[in-house]
Chains A and B, each alone.
Chain A
Amino acid sequence: MTASISLCDVGRTFGATRALAGVSLDLKPGVTGLLGPNGAGKTTLLRLLATALPTTQGQVRVLGLDPEVPAERTGIRRQLGYLPQEIGFPRGFTAFAYVDYIALLKEWTQPPARHAEVRRVLGLVGLSDLSAKRIRAMSGGQRRRVALAQALLGSPPVLILDEPTTGVDPEQRVTLRTVLAEIARTSIVVLSTHQTEDVAALCERVIVLDRGRVRYDGPVTDLVSQAAGRVWLADQPDPAASASWRTGTGRYRNVGARVRNDVEHVEPSLEDAYLLLRGGSPEHEPAGEMTS
């Protein structure tokens, strides 16, 4: 049986605020990207999947286990790697000591095996040389990689990553893509990000959330193809475009809902498609749900 995560009509509220509403998904091994504006519910969805948060509506099953049942929740956690969006580190810990501590909490009780695993994951994120450095003395990107390293412990069947590449330099981002792509051969990897290029480079599937609802769920290529003919260059911002910005060449890249023939079209990117889906700006009202 293939490992999977399923959500059926899942909702989550925080007081009067509805963070997620009626989300139904089925996730299989591979990398799934989660896109959406701030407050769309991405982090809430990831926290639900990571058993950090209970639902207020609907049903979640991770690898066939119910996170609402304590024993099954522990079963999920044994097979889970989770990188939260925000994390602090205890004082005085080196990168090695911290990841080693988390490895202990992930039931790596035998020191030789645990230490070897800690060295391996620190190597995966390019921190082998900095493993003895105190985390508090590290840069933001290095800290992020320490946090990512603990998520990779044991090559978990489920890997939930909330903005994994924030603050990470381009070289390391490319390396991390390689690592995640390798893990995704057998694991379910869900990553939330604002970096559309990461999603385009890494994910087979993308889910766009907006105001707690799924706006798009399908292959990245399908989403991009929906923007074909709707992205063009011009010397001035086009009033007909729903979004336009000045590029490095001095010309304006315009993204608009209507297909135009009288302009210089360019190959759309995932970012263009995402902007189109969003209606060009965050203020736009959501259109209907799109699925591939």
Chain B
Amino acid sequence: MTTTLAPARPAADADRATFAALAAREVRRFAVNPVFLFAVAMTVWVLSTDPGNVTEIDSVNWIPAVFLGGFGMMATFWLTRSMRASEPIVGVTPVTLPARTAALCTVAIVPFACGGLALLRFVQLIPVGDPAYGAFSPSARIAVLVGQIVIPSLGGPLLGVALGRWVRFPGAAFVLFLILFGWGNLVTALSISRPDSTPLVVLRLFAPFSFFTLRGNTAHLTTWRGSPWFFLGWQLALCAIAVLVALLRGAEGRARLRIIRALGVAGAVAVVMLVLAAAGGFTHAVTA
């Protein structure tokens, strides 16, 4: 053993370099998280089916949302909480809590990219021109898929970070996952019975994931009300809110004020987008 002391550490001029290195570290930790690996494996398994076996989009499009989004949320929640016990140490390092939170938020790039790949595979399984997408225009069909596959893969993990920063209960992410899953199923079930009800459209879209078509047990395909494009806006606003809420933890002074102001803007945008999503699209459900 030696007691020789090292020279002072290298000049710490680069907040940006530290952030980049930390973000890369968190991305690596997330990418090897067993929960996330399981989610990826399940998504790959489901999407590796033969193209001929998939005849309706609603039997598959929720898979990436549930696994990459829902399980991704649980993985980032765990990742965020993992250093909680070491907070007395990490809390007095030069990297502030909001900076560490921002680094954690960057891990959502991984499931987002996986969601992008899942989208490409999905389009391979059911080309955009397929009647399985209902009465939507080709561009709206893309919006539906992005909103159902890619954005939940981004938003779920961001929500997990926010939850990890603010909620102490260790099972919070799982409980939230169940609530969101239950909510999605409930409003979908209600929408089947009353597809033209405006309040139900709002309730259906008041979620991070929503179906826009449903074949159900009949031979007919129903295209529901609601604008897929504005729904995308609503989802992205939710993502922004999740990031801002996460960053608010530990923010001080002017930064805190800026975050609160941005939260107000994001909240207003979210409301507008939800209203437009509910008001847009078809005026009534279209069954073909």
Contact = CB atoms under 8 A, between A and B. Distances in A.
Interface of A: 50-52, 70, 74, 77-78, 80, 82-84, 86-91, 98, 101-102, 104-110, 113, 116-117, 120, 123-124, 126, 128, 147, 150, 153-155, 175, 178-179, 182-183
A78 B12 CA distance: 8
Contacts of A147: 89
A106 B93 contact: yes
Interface stretch (B2-10, B53-61, B161-169, B191-199): B2-10
B3 A182 contact: yes
B82 A91 contact: yes
Contacts of B219: none
Contact of B86 (A80, A87, A124, A179): A87
16 contacts: A51-B92, A86-B88, A87-B89, A89-B86, A90-B83, A98-B86, A101-B25, A104-B25, A106-B9, A106-B93, A106-B94, A107-B14, A120-B6, A154-B8, A154-B9, A155-B6
B86 to A, nearest CB: 6
Given A78-B94, A80-B92, A82-B92, A117 B9 contact: yes
B89 A150 contact: yes
A88 B95 CA distance: 19
B130 interface: no
B13 to A, nearest CB: 9
B18 A107 contact: yes
Contacts of A86: 88
Interface in B93-151: 93-96, 100
Nearest to A113: B10
Nearest to A175: B1
A124 B82 contact: no
Query: Which of B8, B84, B93, B252 has most A Cβ within 10 Å?
Result: B93
Contacts of B22: 104-105
Given A77-B93, A102-B89, A107 B9 contact: yes
Given A78-B12, A101-B25, A87 B92 contact: no
Given A80-B92, A107-B12, A150-B89, A183 B5 contact: yes
B33 to A, nearest CB: 10
A150 B1 CA distance: 17
B17 A50 contact: no
Contacts of A91: 82
A104 B89 contact: no
Interface residues of B, number: 34
B18 A104 contact: yes
Query: Which of B20, B22, B84 has most A Cβ within 10 Å?
Result: B22
Given A107-B12, A117-B6, A126-B1, A74 B94 contact: yes
A91 B128 CA distance: 44
B88 A123 contact: no
A50 B6 contact: no
Contacts of B52: none
Nearest to A116: B6
B36 to A, nearest CB: 14
Nearest to B81: A90
B21 interface: yes
Contacts of B5: 155, 182-183
Contacts of B92: 50-52, 77, 80, 82
A113 B21 CA distance: 14
A217 B90 CA distance: 31
Interface string B251-273: 01100000000000000000000
Interface in B14-31: 14, 17-18, 20-22, 25
Given A70-B253, A77-B94, A179-B3, A109 B18 contact: yes
B73 to A, nearest CB: 19
A136 to B, nearest CB: 11
A147 to B, nearest CB: 7
A124 B1 contact: yes
B21 A87 contact: no
B90 A109 contact: no
| Those 3 A-B pairs whose CB atoms lie nearest each other, nearest first | A88-B85, A154-B9, A84-B88
B2 A123 contact: yes
B22 to A, nearest CB: 6
Contacts of A110: 10
